[in-house]
Every structure is written in C-alpha cells, then in structure tokens.
Structure 1
Amino acid sequence: MLTNINRRTFIAGFTALAGLGLTACGSDAASGSGEAVGDLLAQIRDRGEMIFATEGTWSPWTFHNEAGELTGFDIEVARAIASELGVEASFAEGEWDGLLAGVDSGRYDTMANGVSVTDEREEKYDFTEPYAFNNIVVIVRGDNDEIASLEDLEGKTTANTLASSYAALAESHGATCTGVDDFNATIELLDAGRIDATLNDEVVFNDYMAQHPDANLKVAAMAPEPTHIAYPLRREEATESLREAMNEAIDALRADGTLAQISNTYFGMDITAA
C-alpha cells in the first residue's frame, strides 16, 4: 500500500489545475464562479484521479524524501483512500494559508495536511470522519523555564502559519503569533530567540528531534485533548457522495490495519485510533 508516485508535485499540480479548468471539481469554467456542478465523486472517477492539496514541507506528515519524492503519513493515506475509490491520487503543493482557499474555489478536491477539525472550520466545511488523532504540544528552547502550561503563553510570542489551529490555540491563551510559511521557519525563529514558543504536533516534534538530536528544544506543555484530523470538503450537495465514499474507505483501511501500518511507518506509533 505504501507506494510512491514518481512525479514532482508542482508538475502534477499544474497539470491537475489545467484539467480542473474544464471538468475537475465541478468548477464553472465559463463563469469563473468555482460553483460546483453535479456529483464530485463521479467527476473524480471520470478523470481517474483525486487532487489533494498539501504543503510537502511538514515531515513526517507530508515531505520530500532524499530522492525528491513526495511522501509522508498524509500522502500515503491519501493514496490509499484514492485507491479504495478506484482512482489515483495527485498532489498540488503550496503554503498552508492558500490550500484551504484552493479547496474553497474548487481547484482541489480536498486537503491532505493534518487538517484539525475545529468549530470554526466545521461551520464552513463538511469533514469526513477522523483518520487520525493528534496531540498538540508547546515547544520552547531547552533553557526556557517560564512556560510550563498553555496558560503561561499569556503575553508571550509564538510563530505559526496564521490560518492554523496552532495559531488559534496560542492566541486563545493570550500569545501574540507571528505568521510563518512552515515548521522549519518557526524553529529558526525559536532557535534564534526571536519568539518564546511555538505550537505543533507531538509527532512532528519527535520527528524533528530524531533528525536533530542536539537541538536545544523541549516540550513545555500539551493540550488537554487530542485534535481530530479529517479531510475538509466543500459544504454542498455535490460533495455528499464523495464524503460517504471516503468514510467507507477510511473504515476499510482502519479495519484491515492499513492506517495503523502507515502511522507506525512514519510516526513510530499508531495515532489512527481514537
């Protein structure tokens, strides 16, 4: 199940977008409205591919390996789900803040990038059932003794992509959040002492420390409840059958152990069970 599609994602993304101009995602090419037409699942099966938006810079969720191939937990789960639907997965890479906008406009079918289900997002998107459950942690420099809980973020500075659930959580506890493009940029700011902390996934922190064992970083606190990770779909009639089919695929992949296998491969632990 862990197969790599040997294509660079920017090429795939532009190829996909070219196709989208005519038929993909049900966009109204003539009017440019992006309004969905017909059944999205049927369109995906007609074109033989499902288009996922992703960053490609967030290891171990979505990243390029040493051979330059796009891989990671989210990439392999997306490929497995597409296979269950009888199509291939293709990926269009970009910065986080623009990915959900691409789902909104119909450029992408959905987003494979560890998207947390939040109350605010549920007002706008029709999410699939969760395929992963994730712990958010507060990361600080190793010599920082001022932050030991989320409440200690009051008056502190953090950095994250501004549309992320991490930024929202930090700001809800009184932090001032600086916008960055990706996790590596966040760590650079933290290492340089330009911010007090950053919030991210526990598995992302573990992966970073495995690759940088001498990094002067530590986990200062953890959110009390895990976040639910799911696929966001446009909230419209055209996506209903796709959501049902994706839920069936997630159930099948959980039942046969595929989700657990992929999770253990990339995280060293199973985060796919509630």
Structure 2
Amino acid sequence: MKKTRLTTLLLAVSAIGVLGMTGCSGNNQQAPAQGSTAAQTQEGTQTQGETEAQEETGEEPDDLLSAIQDKGEIVIAMEGTWAPWTYHDEDDNLVGYDVEVGQLIADKLGVDATFVEGEWDGLLAGLDAGRYDMMVNGVEITDERAEKYDFTDPYAYIRTAIIVNGDNNEIQSYDDLDGKNTANTISSTYAELAERFGAQVTGVDDLNQTFELLLSGRIDATLNAEVTYYDYMKAHPEANIKIAALTEEASHVAIPLRKGGESDRLQEAINEALAELDESGELSELSMKYFGSDISQISE
C-alpha cells in the first residue's frame, strides 16, 4: 500500500511539472508573432515570424495566406541585380519594377514586405524549402515550371532578345545560335532557349557578368528580355552591343508559389491584388516608369 501511495505521489509531481511546461508553451503560442518591417535580408536567413511559426507548429502551415497575415509579413525573394526589375540605386536602395509590385501586393494583403536577395538558383531552392513566401523576379511561365509551381495571373509580358556584339553579323536568327557560345543563369528560360537552339551555355551569377563576357568577346551572344537590353543601353550608351533577333510571341511573367493546397488562398489573394492594380492603372504607370513602355499589357 505504501508503495502504491508513493507511486501515486510521484505521478502527481510529474504531472504538475508537465502542466508547468505546457503552460509556458501555451503562453508562447498565444503571443502574437511580430511582423517585420520592409527590409533587405540575405538569402537563407529566416525571418523572426517564420522562425516563431516553425517553433510553435513544427511543420508547414496548411494555409499560407493565414500564416502570412497572422505574422503580418510576407517574405519576397528576388535577385537585386537585374535592372530594371530589381536592383540597387546610387544610394544602394533596393528598387525596381518587381520591388514596387511586391510592395503593392503586400499592401493589398495588409502585411509588411520583407525582401530577400540572392542568386537565381538559390531563390528557387529557398521557395521550394519554404524560406520565402513568393518570388517576384520577372519569372516567365514555362511548361516545366508550371509542373513544379503554382503561378499567379501574369503581370507582365516580354519578348526575348538575342544580344550580340555590335560587330557580329553571323547571328541574325535563333537558328544561328547552333554551335555558338552564350551566357545566362543556368536554370533561366534564356539558358534553356539557347540550349534548345544548339548553343553552349556558360553559367553566370548575374546580368552584369553576362554583359562583361559579351563585351570582352568571350561569348558570342546572350539572351535576355528586350526591355532589359534597352535599360542597359540607357545606362551604358557607349556599349557596342545590339539586338540580333527577337521572339515572335511574348512570354508571360508571373509569380511562382509552392505547389499544393497551402498556397491556394494566397494565389487567389495575389490575383485579386494584381487585378486591382491593373484596373487602377498602377501596373501601367510602373511599367512606363521603369521600362519606358507598358509591359503590363500584352501587345498584339
């Protein structure tokens, strides 16, 4: 009997200890997550809200939109080196068409925007891993990407240009890329398109490195958005480069999200935000500001 009473007492003490620890955890769960203000963060760094959410639940949220609104922050991935989409101005501020589009979407969702910069491949990997909520970086929709990601409605339309040295007359069409050397970020649609036409693609980290290779004669051509070429020439009018050819049809630029039910409501909310920005004319104004033309509308 004494042994039974002792066992009962020990179990009661253990239960009190467990309840005490559960109470601490419960207090943490009830405390609201602190949303970050718009800021620049290096790739791979978790935000405070993201870390708290993982500590509390230990798993990915079933509804990403609710998780974003609960913590008051949406984490947006972009390169920060691709003018005029996303780049740094003379004062080292992160600016660009996609930066403003991302900020406007965050405003529509009623949360702060935190921008995370990194190399293209790392951004896609971070999106897959759940480190970022979305990637706003001039991402073109392709069949291969559509199998892996859920895309929002398009918010821009662009044609792809073959850019060559000003003295190069050998490349005048996409068929002429066969056997030539080009450079682009490896998993970009531009690299894929060049390889499709038989080019040997050199992998690079950013746009500036691409143009350095082209101007030094180490590659024959590079592929990029037509508007990116015009923006580069506006900043470097002395550059001896030209457009050799353009795609006939425009590519659709949209925002990739992790595929699965957790992103469904977020996708709907972003589509509503983009529709409102289109209807108000804000997307057109941003396009004219950064590109000198309205890429928010598909040209016939």
Same fold at TM > 0.5: yes
CA drift at 1:37: 2.2
Comparing both structures, which one devotes a greater share of its residues to helix? 2
Pick from 170, 176, 197 the counterpart of residue 152 of structure 1: 176
CA drift at 1:19: 3.2
Q: Does 1:20 align with 2:50?
A: yes
For 2:39 and 2:106, the matched residues in 1 are separated by 18
- Give SS of 2:244's match: strand
Q: Residue 48 and residue 8 in structure 1: after superposition, are their counterparts in 2 closer, same or farther (change >3 A)?
A: closer
For 1:28 and 1:237, the matched residues in 2 are separated by 22
Task: Tell me what 2:236 maps to.
Answer: 212
CA drift at 1:29: 8.2
Task: Tell me what 2:40 maps to.
Answer: 9
Task: Tell me what 2:4 maps to.
Answer: none
Q: Residue 255 and residue 113 in structure 1: after superposition, are their counterparts in 2 closer, same or farther (change >3 A)?
A: same
Pick from 261, 272, 279 the counterpart of residue 248 of structure 1: 272
Structure 2: any 5+ residue segments left out of the alignment? Answer: 1-35
For 2:261 and 2:56, the matched residues in 1 are separated by 19
41-50 or 141-150, which deviates more = 41-50
Q: Does 1:222 align with 2:246?
A: yes
Pick from 101, 104, 128 the counterpart of residue 128 of structure 2: 104
For 1:21 and 1:88, the matched residues in 2 are separated by 16
Structure 1: any 5+ residue segments left out of the alignment? Answer: none
Task: Tell me what 2:207 maps to.
Answer: 183
Q: Which amino acid aligns with 1:89?
A: A
For 1:232 and 1:264, the matched residues in 2 are separated by 24
Larger radius of gyration: 2
| 1:8–1:70 contact (8 Å) kept in structure 2 | no
| 1:37–1:238 contact (8 Å) kept in structure 2 | yes
For 2:128 and 2:110, the matched residues in 1 are separated by 24
Pick from 70, 77, 89 the counterpart of residue 113 of structure 2: 89
Task: Tell me what 1:273 maps to.
Answer: 297
CA drift at 1:11: 6.3
Q: Which amino acid aligns with 2:51?
A: G
CA drift at 1:220: 0.2
Which TM-score applies when normalising by structure 2? 0.84
Pick from 45, 48, 55 the counterpart of residue 72 of structure 2: 48
Which TM-score applies when normalising by structure 1? 0.92
For 1:17 and 1:84, the matched residues in 2 are separated by 21
For 1:161 and 1:29, the matched residues in 2 are separated by 37
Task: Tell me what 1:138 maps to.
Answer: 162
| 2:38–2:112 contact (8 Å) kept in structure 1 | no
Query: What is the number of residues matched between the two proteins?
Result: 263
Task: Tell me what 2:186 maps to.
Answer: 162
